[in-house]
Amino acid sequence: MSKSKIAITLEEKYIKELDHLVESRHYQSRSQAIQEAVEEKLQRIKRVRLSRECAKLDPSFEKAIAEEGITEDMNEWPEY
């Protein structure tokens, strides 16, 4: 995957914490730490969005549809 440079502005306290993580060898660089933080945040946003959409589903309706399809398909299967 290609990468691009960007400029960001952070509060000094976050920069100090990042530098401490780099100095303690938890991350190789500020860039690595920030990239992982962004990746984690984006994944969390996607999971929350998926959870919200799943919450909109009616479990009994979904089950009925699934079972209806299975029953019809099973009747078409050959006998073993």
Q: What is the pLDDT of residue 12?
A: 97
Pick the more confident residue, 76 or 36.
36
Q: Measure CA of the first residue to CA of the last residue in the chain; give whole Å.
A: 50
Pick the more confident residue, 7 or 1.
7
Q: What is the pLDDT of residue 73?
A: 61
- The string of pLDDT tens digits covering residues 45-58 is 998 888 888 888 88
Q: What is the pLDDT of residue 70?
A: 66
Q: How far apart are CA 34 and CA 31, in angstroms?
A: 5
Contact in structure between 8 and 34 (CB atoms under 8 Å): yes
